[in-house]
Chains A and B, each alone.
Chain A
Amino acid sequence: MTTFTRALVGHVCRLLEPDEREAVEGDIAELRMPGAEALREVLGLAVRRQAALWTEWGPWLALVGVVIPLGALLGQLSWPWADESAIYTFLYVNNWTWAYVESPGARRDLLDVGTRVCLNDLALIGWSWTTGFALGSLSRRTLWVTATLFCLVVLVVFGLSSGTTARANPFNAAVFSLPFYRIVYPWLVLTGLVLLPGVWGMRRSRRSALLPLIPTLVGFAIVALLTVSAARTLELFAIGHWHLTRLDPSPDGFIEHGGWFRPLRLLPLLPLWPVAFIVASACWRRLRGQPASA
């Protein structure tokens, strides 16, 4: 067996329960199975085991309630989220001048923008982490499959949502003419604010599917506040800026903005549901008198 096939077999074996993994890997070593045969055998067993797990409701709830809606939402948000902060990063980093600090008006703008971008980024991290944790709790034994599907959904939707209004705006041409902001920055945002926190949440849930009640309630409050602060941005980015401004003809015949309407005003509840699930699980555990690990 080559190092490569041994590594592959080892990876597939990680889908099995620890005792079974031990016995199967031992059988493969004892029977001196060639690499391809060992891989086929282990894959066959892993597929049977995974298929059996999907007869329970947990993985399906994880798929329908977390992977598809939240994977799509987080993938959809990442690109416009990145483009918006790219514009401000370009403004304040690539065109830095001390006047931004010295002028009271510019200083206030800098603080406003910095605070808003930081809060939005924290909200995205919070949603991704809680999504990962809920996914891990709901589909503990099928996590390899659901996590892979989650990442796939995020990546596919992310790939489809690259045409943002920020890029279409000719005033931002200087920003997006730079390859860093056009290509690298969105991937940095996707990786750093969505995928890594999501995987971190999944890993945390593998250690313990339930969190202590008090820290969970505090975490819920923080994520809820971040969601309220980022709600408008979430709605705007989820549907695209132009759809949210009602265009009415003014008396002189020119089109003007007729005010905001919010067809997606309930959308911020979607990224909150994993947090609600985590809190409900912690409360349920507390009511039943079962301890949760820290």
Chain B
Amino acid sequence: MLGEFEYLLISASARLGDDAYGAAIRQEIERASGQRCSVGALYTTLDRLEAKGLIATWMGEATPQRGGRSKRMVRVTAKGTREAAAFYRAVTRASRGVSWKTKPREDRP
């Protein structure tokens, strides 16, 4: 089963499609989760997912806005898609019948 951050990363990569690479994925994760995504977490998770066969990565083209440096491109594999779908189903099932609305009165002592 995927971890939460792994799921966020695979989802961001799937959403970006052919434009999925390090910096773009990082921005997409931050936008979706509303939390900071560190470069360390991003690249170590990319390696882990690639080792599990859930994504494939390769060095892409260099662009002037990157100072002539290449991108690490990412593509979600079929196995990655299956794992992400399984995670989503599990979270959906687990959330069924649960409301996360906070009740302000109950929070007060």
Contact = CB atoms under 8 A, between A and B. Distances in A.
B78 to A, nearest CB: 24
Contact of B39 (A19, A30, A41, A52): A41
Interface in B35-80: 38-41, 43-44, 59, 62-63, 65-67, 69-72
B44 A49 contact: yes
Contacts of B62: 26
A24 interface: yes
Nearest to B62: A26
Contact of A19 (B21, B26, B38, B72): B72
B38 to A, nearest CB: 5
B85 interface: no
Nearest to A23: B72
Contacts of B72: 19-20, 23
A156 interface: no
Interface string B23-38: 1001100000000001
A47 B39 CA distance: 12
A42 B62 CA distance: 20
A27 interface: yes
Contacts of A41: 38-40
Given A26-B71, A41-B38, A20 B66 contact: no
B40 A44 contact: yes
A188 to B, nearest CB: 42
Nearest to B58: A19
B67 A23 contact: no
Given A42-B39, A48-B44, A27 B65 contact: no
A19 B60 CA distance: 11
A269 B27 CA distance: 57
A220 B14 CA distance: 57
B23 A22 contact: no
Contacts of B67: 25-26, 29
A31 interface: yes
Contact of B23 (A19, A30, A47, A52): A30
Contacts of A27: 22-23, 26, 39, 66
B73 to A, nearest CB: 9
Contacts of B38: 41, 44-45
Contacts of A29: 65-67, 69
A42 to B, nearest CB: 7
Given A19-B59, A48-B44, A49-B44, A26 B39 contact: no
B40 to A, nearest CB: 4
Interface string A26-39: 11111100000000
Given A19-B59, A45-B44, A48-B44, A25 B39 contact: no
B43 A25 contact: no
Nearest to A16: B43
B65 A24 contact: no
Contacts of A23: 21-22, 43, 59, 69-72
A104 B89 CA distance: 96
Nearest to A21: B69
Chain B CB within 10 A, most for which of A19, A27, A28, A45: A27
Interface of B: 21-23, 26-27, 38-41, 43-44, 59, 62-63, 65-67, 69-72
19 contacts: A19-B72, A22-B69, A22-B70, A23-B59, A23-B71, A24-B39, A25-B67, A26-B62, A26-B63, A26-B70, A27-B39, A28-B39, A29-B67, A30-B63, A31-B27, A44-B39, A45-B38, A45-B39, A49-B44
Interface of A: 19-20, 22-31, 41-42, 44-45, 47-49, 52
The 6 A-B residue pairs with the shortest CB-CB distance in the complex, in nearest-first order: A26-B69, A26-B66, A44-B40, A23-B72, A45-B40, A27-B23
